[in-house]
Amino acid sequence: MANKIAVLGSLNVDTTLSVQRMPAPGETLAVAGVKHAAGGKGGNQAIAAARSQANTLFIGQVGRDEAGQMMLKTMKDNNVDVSHINEDATVPTGSATILLDANGQNEILVFGGANQSITAESLNLKGIADLDFLITQFETPQAAALAAFTEAKAAGVRTILNPAPAHEILPELLPQTDLIVPNETESALLTGIEVTDLDSMKANAAAFKRMGIPNTIITVGSRGAFFATAAKTGFMPAYKVNAKDTTAAGDTFIGALASQLKRDFSNIEAATQYAQRASSITVQRYGALPSIPTRDEILNAEG
């Protein structure tokens, strides 16, 4: 039976600017190409889950504008339930400008817009008790995340926190989180322990456990991903591919992971491997949402 997942998060219209290299301070560079697409960490994660055949619901907000209508249509077209997305007439839909260099690396500037006007009171949490997992990130206010996670946990729903972009976490949010999934930079910022090797990854997981979060996955880019639960700890090497664009790789990982993960985390190794495979496909393609693979593509990928 497919997992039932909700993502509380951001919806942005992405503008990707292709450049040969990143500009130095004060420098003007020519842009080789411009592309527009639906995105936002929340949107990416939800579509990644849906394309891996999870029953996926989105909780969020767009502006009452053309960009917002585009985002709603994109989510519907990707089999994501949009009944819990609000429209805010006072602020525009969120947006992101992505600088993408010739090596596939990116720098991203985000305008929160309607994503940042979400409040605990504005959330539509109807039916949350029917979920297997609730996911959120930090492109929407933590106060809203706290309200949603608290209600979810009370109903026995598992909660997954992707602390990106990295911010100090509300102390009250920590014990409401079942699984935290940072990258190595975000993990180090939150724990104060630099991620360099397996021992340092274990130390980060122990630090999160002391904070009240029992399960950890740390993604380390082209190296792979570390996972730690009460029952199992390990490292899953990344698949070796020619990366063209790393945009949405982490979001693909989280959505794909949640689509496969069991509520008791007993299959965390297999789910991490599946998520790694999904991310390895994403980085070989350009764009955010267009690069996210389907379940069939993941299962049939070579390597």
Domain-located, residue 16: no
Residue 241 lies in a domain: yes
Q: Considering the domain boundaries, does residue 65 fall inside one?
A: yes
* 148-196 tens-digit pLDDT: 999 999 999 999 999 998 889 999 999 999 999 999 999 999 999 999 9
ω into 165 cis (within 30 of 0): yes
Instruction: Give the annotated binding-site residues for K(+).
Output: 245, 247, 282, 285, 287, 291
pLDDT at residue 242, as a whole number? 86
Residue 250 forms part of a structural domain = yes
Residue list, annotated binding site: 12-14, 40-44, 139, 183, 219-224, 245, 247, 250-251, 282, 285, 287, 291
What DSSP letter does each residue of the chain carry, written as one string?
A: -PPEEEEE---EEEEEEE-SSPPPTT------EEEEEEE-HHHHHHHHHHHTT-EEEEEEEEESSHHHHHHHHHHHHTTEEEEEEEEETTSPPEEEEEEE-TTS-EEEEEE-GGGGG--TTT---TTGGG-SEEEE-SSS-HHHHHHHHHHHHHTT-EEEE---S--PPPGGGGGG-SEE--BHHHHHHHHS----SHHHHHHHHHHHHHHT--EEEEE-GGGEEEEE-SS-EEEEEPP----S--TTHHHHHHHHHHHH--TT-TTHHHHHHHHHHHHHHHTTSSSSGGGPPPHHHHHH---
The CATH code of the domain that includes 218 is 3.40.1190.20
pTM as predicted: 0.92
- Structural domain tally of the chain? 1
Q: Per the domain annotation, does 234 fall within a domain? A: yes
Instruction: Please check the confidence at residue 303 and state whether its pLDDT lies above 80.
Output: no
- Whether residue 251 lies in the annotated active site: yes
Is residue 211's pLDDT more than 70? yes
25-51 pLDDT tens trace: 999 999 999 988 888 999 999 999 999
Residue 2 lies in a domain: no
Give the model's pLDDT for residue 175: 96
Kindly tell me if the per-residue pLDDT of 67 is higher than 90. Answer: yes
Q: By residue range, what is the domain housing residue 220?
A: 39-93+115-300
Q: Output phi, psi for 97, to 5 deg.
A: -110, 125
Q: Are strands 33-39 and 12-18 parallel, antiparallel or unpaired?
A: antiparallel
pLDDT bucket at 225, cuts 50 / 70 / 90 = very high
Residues marked as binding for ATP? Answer: 183, 219-224, 250-251
Which segments are annotated as binding site for substrate?
12-14, 40-44, 139, 251
Catalytic residue among 65, 88, 178, 251: 251
Residue 20 resides in a domain: no
In a domain, 107, yes or no: no
